[in-house]
Amino acid sequence: MNNAIRHTWVVSVGLFITLFAALSIIQVGVTDELNANPNNVRQLYEDRGAPRGAITVDGTAIAESVPSDNSSFDYQRVYNEPDLYSGITGTYSIAEPATGLEGTLNEYLSGQSDSQFFDRIASVFTGDTMDGGQVELTLDGELQQIAYDLIPEGTRGSIIVTEVATGDIKAMAAKPSYNNNDLAIQDSAQYVENKAELETNPDLRYTSPAISNSIAPGSTFKLVDLVAMLESGDYDAETVLDNPNSITLPNTTAELPNFERGICEQRPEADLAWIVAQSCNTPFAEAALELGQDPLRESAEAFGWNSEDLGIPLDVATSTFPEDLSDDVLAQSAVGQQSVTATPLQMNMVASAIANGGTLMKPNLVDAIRGSDLQLLSSSEPEVLSEATSEDIADEITEMMIGVVETGTATRAQTGNFQVAAKTGTAEIGDTGLVNSWITGFAPADDPQYAVTVAYERIDYDTGSSLTAPQLLTMLEAAIE
């Protein structure tokens, strides 16, 4: 090889390396800076009109980009079956940052993740438009539809179904919902008008209330109490406890009664299993005062209370069990009132952990993420969040939850197909006459597969109690059969 050819070859290689380095710096090092530049109008139009990846359920797109009729944008984001999924997918709009999974997984959907780097490089050389990554959800479309249809219009309801062994969320439906296509339009003025119209509904939440509303859980919280009580060694299912119809809260003149619509007043003393089945308040309040707040808080936190970093990957509102409670507040919190709050997902985590022998699996919505060529970029694996309690205690609580369905407050969840374990809850809302109506449970009780939680906010007692247990059974039957 003569010197001229050698020098030409060296220069060519050097230019290629320089070009590759420059592209790498632009694609990785300063992409965010360039994209965020307010003068970069071209980038804004490219981003808002880019072909984002699809979000799918059962292989069918529930969010996708289609060619746009707007001359300024190449693609339009479209949401299919928005009432079922808007609180999960969120919205990608021209006016505001993306919400829901559109925001949380934006780097994959837009094709900007590190794992899609070489796809971006290839698109530079080929000139082809690069599609974003595809997000495949754990949801079951049929279960999601059933859950949504069960919730009556005009109510504030949530239904969650999870797979006990994995934590995978199979359904997460809620009302009121909204049509996120109204916010994905490519006309700023129309966007403002549509958003104002949506927000005339004060109950609307852009993220599913199943994970965004942390409310009083009522007697479903007694499952957490039971863990603390049984772990203390001072209680078991046969322990006989005083069951006064009401107690005076410490250092106050206020009374904490048993629920007046129940039958707790029939037994001034009763074993713990019967107390759980009939959801009597006063024995749990007195047990909380006897144990002190620390064991209850420790049990709650083992199930996820006070955790601020639970991503499924959507952000989840924090379920709270405060510190430094006065005795009167502690007694009320032990029965799911006053200071303790929970999201429907949190109560589902409690039921699921008990069903799973005390092992709490991390809830998860995303099964897999694939590149534009469907190459697997990321897949979910079951993840243990904590050992919330021992298997023996979980089994003992399961037996008491079976009693709730067979002879207690959840008899409407009975079926001849399999045995159901559940716990009901009713949280009174001040003097409004309204309640939060709850049930959480799992089945089959002897070999748990699915956990279901149903929650209604600010509903009258009769309506709420007529909905919760039958809907839990419907969802369990649909999931199992």
Q: Which residue has the tokens 């059969």?
A: 481
Distances 465 to 20, 339, 451, 460 between C-alpha atoms, Å: 65, 23, 19, 9
Q: Examine the residue annotation and report whether 12 is marked as an active-site residue of this protein.
A: no
Task: Write phi, then psi, for 22 (nearest 5 degrees).
Answer: -60, -45
Taking residue 26's Cβ as centre, other Cβ atoms within 10 Å add up to 13
CA end-to-end distance (rounded Å), the chain: 75
CB environment 444-457: b (16+ within 10 A), e (fewer): bbeebebbbbbbbb
CB environment 102-124: b (16+ within 10 A), e (fewer): bbbbbebbbbbbeebeebbeebe
Q: Which residue has the tokens 């595809």?
A: 134
Chain-centroid distance of CA 300 in Å reads 17
Contact 78, 65 (CB under 8 A): yes
C-alpha span between 456 and 174 (Å, rounded): 10
- Single out the residue of 34, 90, 85, 93 nearest to residue 60, CA to CA: 85
C-alpha span between 123 and 128 (Å, rounded): 5
Task: Write phi, then psi, for 355 (nearest 5 degrees).
Answer: -65, -30
Token pair recorded at residue 251: 């250092």
Q: Which of 113, 219, 299, 380 is catalytic?
A: 219
Catalytic residues: 219
